Structure formats: C-alpha cells, structure tokens
C-alpha cells in the first residue's frame, strides 16, 4: 500500500508513533523516525523496522527547536532522497488547573505539540509542493475538540493543530497534497498508564474501553495511502464515541 514511499514520523520511538511506524513499514514504507530523548527506545524501534525489511533511520530532534527541525529534515532528504508522508505525532502533557499551571509549562506544551508540527510542515512543504503529492497527518486529540479540565495547555495546542491542519490543507490542495488530523480519545500508552485502570473514566466512553495504538495506526495508514486521495482538511475522531 505504501511501497517505495518515505514516511517521516515525529515521536516515533514509542506509543502511537511506534505503532504508526510499524504499520507503515509493514505496508512497504521506508521510515524516518524522530525522537526527543530516549535513544534506547528509538534504536529498538528502528531495529524492529529494519527487521520488517524496509529502510529505517532514527533522528534525535527536539521538534520545538526550529533550527534542529531544519537540520534534521535536510538530513532526512539527503538520506532518503525525499519524503512522501509526514506524521506529526510528537506531543507532551504538563497538566494542572489554570491557577497552578506555570507559564513555562503552558509554553512548552504549545511549543512541542503545535509549533513543532508547524516547523516540520514548513520544512517539508516545498518538497511536497515540488513533487505535487504528499500526505500530512497531524495527531490532534478529542481534548482539542471538547476541552478537558487541567489541560488548558494541551487542549489549546491540539485545537490549534486542527486550525493548522485546515489552513495547510487549503494551501496545498491544488498541489495534490492532503493534510488531515486524527483526534484520538483515551489510548492505552505510557502517557495514559495512570488512567488505564480508571473504570469511571471508561464509563464515559460508549465502547467502554480505551483505544490501542494499533487502532490509531490503522487510521493513519488509510490517510497515508491512495485510498484517501480525495480527503483533506478533515478531523477524524477515533475515541470509542467519547466526543460524539
């Protein structure tokens, strides 16, 4: 389905990002994964991808740093000869109610989750423009659609990502480049492990369970493939009915 394509995936060493890397690789894509700090996890994910039989490379990069993003994207283009798919998955949380939230914690979440996606798109935009093809997938959240107490920074960053998605989609549509967002609900990852046994929380989800990284990866595969060539500017919830 993605044979011969190159996918650039931020936050690709674990959780949803690693699941997307694996799903894309299983469908023939070569993978450039970006990670923030856990080199061991990144190398383990890279080794698993190489084991599938595709080209894979891991790049340490703080996506909140525009200069680092520019350097890494140049290196990826040199190493892979181009890029066809960008998945902006890197994200952090620093939850607190507004009175207790420190301003640097608000800034750092927005810098990583929203500005990081902008920096990545900015660097690969000319590549997609020139080749008149490409898929951009931004991992937002239902928090960006409905808000969540204690997550003003996270919800604001994910809502901003939706606006970014729609604007980029309009800019690039005439060049045959699609830009869409995925809005997961509660997904069982390292980030949510302290919530995984919260049955009261599950009671608010019509399907009565958390999603899995695999669930999100399957949707990302659809949006990265030619099966979604006439879909752009969309926000697709994958949340077991939580935000309907």
CB 87 within 8 A of CB 117: no
β partners of residue 236: 182
Q: Where are the alpha helices (DSSP H) in the chain?
A: 15-26, 39-52, 66-80, 103-110, 116-131, 143-146, 152-172, 199-203, 213-224
The residues, any chain, with a CB within 8 Å of residue 218's CB and separated by 6 or more, are: 23
Report the C-alpha gap between 156 and 212 in whole angstroms: 24
Q: Which of 223, 242, 239, 237 is nearest to 84 (CA)?
A: 223
Take residue 41 and report the two structure tokens written for it. 């996890």
CB 216 within 8 A of CB 16: yes
SS3 212: coil
Q: Which of 97, 112, 212 is nearest to 161 (CA)?
A: 112
Take residue 231 and report the two structure tokens written for it. 């879909």
Task: Give catalytic residue positions.
Answer: 154
If one counts every other C-beta atom within 10 angstroms of the C-beta of residue 51, the result is 10
């Amino acid at each position: 389905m993605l044979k011969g394509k190159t996918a650039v995936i931020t936050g690709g060493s674990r959780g949803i990002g690693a699941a997307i890397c694996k799903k894309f690789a299983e469908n023939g894509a070569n993978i450039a994964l970006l990670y923030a700090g856990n080199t061991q996890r990144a190398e383990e994910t890279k080794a698993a991808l190489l084991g599938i039989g595709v080209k894979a490379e891991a790049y340490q990069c703080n996506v909140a740093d525009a200069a680092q993003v520019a350097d890494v994207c140049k290196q990826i283009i040199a190493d892979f000869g181009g890029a066809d798919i960008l998945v902006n998955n890197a994200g952090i949380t620093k939850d607190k109610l507004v009175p207790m939230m420190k301003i640097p914690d608000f800034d750092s979440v927005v810098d990583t989750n929203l500005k990081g996606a902008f920096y990545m798109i900015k660097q690969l935009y000319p590549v997609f423009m020139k080749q008149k093809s490409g898929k951009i997938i931004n991992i937002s959240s239902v928090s960006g659609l409905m808000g969540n107490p204690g997550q003003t920074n996270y919800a604001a960053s994910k809502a901003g990502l939706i606006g970014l998605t729609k604007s980029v989609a309009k800019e690039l549509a005439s060049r045959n480049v699609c830009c869409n967002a995925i809005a997961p609900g509660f997904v069982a990852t390292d980030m949510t492990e302290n919530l995984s046994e919260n049955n009261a929380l599950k009671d608010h989800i019509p399907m009565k369970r958390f999603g899995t990284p695999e669930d999100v990866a399957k949707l990302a595969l659809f949006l990265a493939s030619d099966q979604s060539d006439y879909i752009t500017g969309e926000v697709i919830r994958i949340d077991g009915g939580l935000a309907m």
